[in-house]
Structures are given as C-alpha cells and as structure tokens.
Amino acid sequence: MDLTPLPPKGASVKSRLARLAGVLTIPAAGLVLSGCTVPSFYAKEGVTETSKSTFHLWQGFSVAAAIIGGFTAGLILWAVIRYRRKGDAIPKQTQYHVPLEIVYTIVPILIVIGLFVATIVVENKVVAEPPTTTAIHANAFQWGWGFTYENENAISVGSTTEEPTMVMPVDTDVKIILTSTDVVHGFYVKDFNFSRFALPGVTNTFSLHAVKTGTFSGQCTQMCGLYHSIMYFKVKVVSQSDYAAWLATFNTPYGKAKADAAKKVLAEQMTARVPVKPEASGGTNKL
C-alpha cells in the first residue's frame, strides 16, 4: 500500500478559504442590503424600555450564534466534501499556518468581549433606578398581592382569581418596592420581560418605565403553596392624566373608606399566614 502524500491539487488553501468566505458573504450582504427585519427568535419586544433593550440583546446573541454556527457548519461540510477519502492515499497534511491560527484565536476573543460588553450595558439599564416621585409598594402573600402607593392613599388588594391591579403611568420611571409576607414568591410580567423574587425579610427595589398603555397580565413564578397557579395580578399602564384622575378617586369620602378597608385587608393578610379573602379586597372569593 502506497502511503506517500499526494501533491496538492487545484488552488491553494488561502484561495479556497477566500472563495468560501465570498460564498458566505454574498447571501449575508444580500440580506442586509434588502433591509429585511431581524427575526424575533421567538421572543417578544415588550412594552418597557428595559424589555426592548433585553429583546435587542437577545436578537444580537441569536444573530451572532447563527452566523458562527453557519460558518462552522460550512467549514465542516467543505472539509468533508473537499477531503473525502479517495482510495487508500493520505491527503497532503498542512499544519502551523500561523496567520490562520492567529485569526481563529483573536476573532473568538473579540466576539466574546463584544457580547460581554453588550450584556453589561443592558444589565445596567435593567438594574438602574433613576430618581422618581412615583413609588409603589408591592407585597406578595399566600396567595395574592397588595399594591400601595407611596405618599398616596391609593391601594389595590386581591387574592388568587381576584387579580388585583397595579396602576402605573406611561412614560414615567416607577419605583417598585417588592416584599413578601410569608414564603418566596415571584413577580413576573410577561409583556415587561421582567421577573424578580419576592423574598420574606428582604426588600427588593427596581424601576419600570412603560412606553405603551394597556393592561398586562402578571403572576407568581415561584411554587408557593396550594393556590400558586392562580396567584395572578394585572398591571394597567395609563396616561398621565388618567393616572392623576385615578389617584384623585381615593380623595373622596367613598374612596378613603374603600382604601381604609383595603389597608385593613392587607394588614390581615400580612399577619394571618393563610388567605383571608374578605369582601373589602374586591369581592368574595371563596374556594
């Protein structure tokens, strides 16, 4: 059996790599120049400033993964086809291609650095707490939510399917002060692309800035007991004028009486350790 390496045939390795890069670049350039939108990759943009930033970061990671994966698959297919076995001869062996080794060492490092920096920038936006005069205390308990408004008489309390509503103004930084009365709960709003733990004995604070009005569903994301699966709430984002009008309803005698009753309900919920479900929280809710 003759194991003598075969002489190289055709173009050099450098020219073949250049042709492969050209083949991959042409369709990519066509997509860019055509102005097509970047796919969502099964994620939602959301309705807050931070959710949009997170969504774009996800798109960037997905595009980078697709390009790198496609390039790697192309190299594998090229090697399989170009150097498929022909008889018993060993093809020409090439090693220590210094320029190529430098490229495939430096490029991945630059990619990792770029993705890392982009992640840090978005994370800083998510955890930032800009100064604001609008603050909401969100308290989680088995199995409901209480939302009280700092420096205001407004309050919303409800258990399980009552779905209490947290009202907040649009285009405004809103500080959320999150606590738990009993066990670990999770504050999650799908359209905000946002989730935080509500921990007993720990106060978590964060900022939300909605850029679109509407009513959005929220729920507890941590297994917290029997009725965890129906521990829902809603977030209603309204205009500045509607928000001011809603707060004003609590300044009437009826509104103050309703708020006092709701505060009593919340106090009972925070000390009872079991669901109280009184009528003042928004209607009877007997299970």
pLDDT digits (tens, 9 = 90+) for 94-107: 778 888 888 889 99
122 and 192 inside one domain: no
275 and 147 inside one domain: yes
Position 18 confidence tier, pLDDT thresholds 50, 70, 90: low
Rounded CA separation 282/147 (Å): 13
Judged by phi (left if over 0) then psi (alpha if -120 to 50, else beta), residue 236 lies in beta
Position 63 confidence tier, pLDDT thresholds 50, 70, 90: very high
Contacts of residue 27, defined as CB under 8 A and 6 or more positions apart, other chains included, come to none
Retrieve residue 200's tokens.
């007993």
Judged by phi (left if over 0) then psi (alpha if -120 to 50, else beta), residue 114 lies in alpha
What is the residue whose two structure tokens read 């400033």?
49
Contacts of residue 243, defined as CB under 8 A and 6 or more positions apart, other chains included, come to 167, 168, 169
Judged by phi (left if over 0) then psi (alpha if -120 to 50, else beta), residue 273 lies in left
Mean pLDDT confidence for 114-131: 92
63 and 35 inside one domain: yes
Rounded CA separation 214/207 (Å): 18
Retrieve residue 277's tokens.
């479900």
Give per-residue pLDDT as tens, 179-237: 998 889 999 999 999 999 999 989 999 999 999 999 999 999 999 888 888 899 999 99
Whether 256 has a pLDDT exceeding 80, the answer reads yes
Give whole-number Cα distances, 63 to 37, 46, 56, 109, 185, in Å.
Answer: 12, 19, 10, 17, 34
Residue 168 maps to a domain = yes
Mean pLDDT confidence for 248-276: 76
pTM: 0.73
What is the residue whose two structure tokens read 């931070």?
50
How far does CA 149 lie from the centroid of its chain? 26
Q: Domain residues for 221?
A: 134-281
Write out the DSSP string of 218-273. Answer: EE--S--STTGGG-EEEEEEE-HHHHHHHHHGGGSHHHHHHHHHHHHHHHHHHHHS
Residue 30 maps to a domain = yes
107 and 242 inside one domain: no
In the listed set 77, 95, 127, which residue is the last one of a domain according to the structure? 127
Check if the beta carbon of residue 205 is closer than 8 Å to that of residue 236: no
What is the residue whose two structure tokens read 């420096």?
151
In the listed set 112, 127, 142, which residue is the last one of a domain according to the structure? 127
74 and 93 inside one domain: yes
Position 26 confidence tier, pLDDT thresholds 50, 70, 90: low
Residue 68 maps to a domain = yes
277 and 138 inside one domain: yes
17 and 64 inside one domain: yes
Instruction: Give the lowest-confidence range in 140-144, 243-247, 263-267.
Output: 263-267
